[in-house]
Structure 1
């Protein structure tokens, strides 16, 4: 933003820059494809076509996307319960409820959340949807994970996040779009080095351990669409947490990280003609064993604390 560009007004508690008008709809974009996997509408024909090719290679990919959103909710909830009230969510993608700030501020209205992404359409949707509580703050940073300085040195981040207090750095389903040669491990180290003691790293990452042939096709399909990346195994993903203290239960397949208890069946209820209440929506994970879900979800997740 130049000195002559006025800052756009936004909802209470939200700072934002004027959106860039350029949105390239000629090429698929990973955030818009992810939105399609989750059943969203904020995508273009080119994104849907590429996503359908990926789903042909690995039809269960939607399960991984859904499991990742559920992990976000559990991780943010547990960190707020542990006293964390600042979150830096990088590669957030198109806002899909529940967002980080909705979970955090639903538990602590004074929580502060900074989102960062480098896609103009994500910025436009974030400005419309990321509405903070009056007590808290929410901001959106146009920054590139592959250039962490564009995030860490932004004025918006400094106005919302207090680096004298712990911050949770959220890297959900983004690092598999960064190859080793692009400095994936160095990027995470740079981000965490900038955070004070007591900060946390929240990370999820796709893996090829459970369905190697399918993920080879997924990788090839993304690459053919112009989207680079690297699928990693468990030891390679665990390296992102070097120097940090893993929280229990450690690095787990996404659905196994502190899973919510299954809802109990209503006791003593009998079916009858007067039972008019609609049935709750079916859980897409119901009916599958944990081992089956490992292969369907094909991703690891973990949370670690900076000493």
Structure 2
């Protein structure tokens, strides 16, 4: 209870938080006025942003299913966000109830909801770590993570819709490399990342105006691929989230211009 009170004391409702803004775009209710205002400023520049959020979420679910069907039974989901339907552990444990999942986020509201709602099957395990992707080694060294996941066996690291909150001066390449270095051969990394390469210049100008602190950093598909150049990318390599494993998705698929998210799935050599 003391940990929960301490976490809730950290909430600043006057500043938009990515997890709460994403929750609003997905139609959730766990957000504040600052989150909604931030989301609506983005929506004014990119009217399809809610579709993009939904497609990104659906990509996560298809990617987890894809890997679980190929024998992956351990998942480290970093930047998980506020729980909604078909979370990583639910998708994985439908395929194998013994799957083990660790969620990581740095928003106290996510922490509270995750501990209340992310319940595992009796055969598997679901854990939550209050940590920040900007400090990847602290995630890897966390005792709960070490007790839940076996780093001698392949696993999947999920970096879905989170790397675009890492600025260039925060060493995104070093963060990715630290995580990859910790993974045994045969493991996978799943990532999605916002891109502005399909948007008209006037929309980009509006999005930049809605990002005054530079906290959000869109990257091209080429830049995303470079971050994961050490991995063997699963065909077809960098792909729109709306098109990745598209035969398993609701049809018809939206155009990539309306989604503006790229994705990769790569395997550790």
State the secondary structure of the residue aligned to 1:94: coil
Residues in 1 aligned to 2:163 and 2:256: alpha-carbon distance in whole angstroms = 19
Structure 1 counterpart SS, 2:7: coil
User: Residues 127, 19 of structure 1: CA spacing in aligned structure 2 closer, same or farther, 3 A cutoff?
Assistant: farther
Residues of 2 paired with 1:235 and 1:21: CA distance?
39
Q: 1 CA distance for matches of 2:128 and 2:226?
A: 28
Partner SS for 1:21: helix
Q: Which runs of 5+ in 2 are unaligned?
A: none
1:215 to 196, 200, 204: 204
Matched, 1:238 2:225: yes
Unpaired segments ≥5 residues, structure 1? 9-16, 263-282
Question: 1:164 & 1:18 partners in 2: Cα distance?
Answer: 36
2:234 to 227, 242, 247: 247
More helix by percentage: 2
- CA 1:152/1:88 → structure 2, altered by over 3 Å: closer, same or farther? same
Q: Does 1:162 align with 2:141?
A: no
Q: d(CA) in 2 for partners of 1:59 and 1:30?
A: 18
In structure 2, C-alpha distance between the alignment counterparts of 1:18 and 1:47, rounded to whole Å: 22
Shift of 1:39: 0.4
- Give how far 1:296 is off: 0.4
1:299 corresponds to which of 256, 261, 264: 261
SS of residue paired to 1:256: coil
RMSD of Structure 2 on Structure 1 (CA): 1.8
C-alpha change, 1:219 and 1:174, in structure 2 (3 Å) is: farther
Q: What CA distance in whole angstroms lies between the structure 2 residues aligned with 1:130 and 1:177?
A: 24
Deviations 1:65-101 (A, max 9, x none): 1111111111110101111000000011111211000
Once the two structures are superposed, what CA deviation does each residue of 1:160-194 show, in whole Å capped at 9, x if it has no partner? 00001011000001111111111011101100101
Aligned twin of 2:84: 96
Matched, 1:70 2:58: yes
Displacement after TM superposition at 1:219 (Å): 3.4
Cα distance, 1:157–1:80 mapped onto 2, change above 3 Å: same
Report the secondary structure of 2:246's partner residue: coil
Q: How far apart, in 1, do the equivalents of 2:12 and 2:169 lie?
A: 26
TM (normalized to structure 1)?
Answer: 0.83
Per-residue deviation, residues 252-305 of structure 1 (Å, max 9, x unmatched): 11111111357xxxxxxxxxxxxxxxxxxxx7x75xxx6x61100011111000
CA distance in 2, matches of 1:73, 1:118: 22
TM-score, structure 2 as length reference: 0.94
Structure 1: how far apart are the matches of 2:78 and 2:228? 16
The answer to whether the 8 A contact 1:207-1:298 is kept is yes
For residues 106 and 18 of structure 1, the distance between their equivalents in structure 2, rounded to whole angstroms, comes to 33
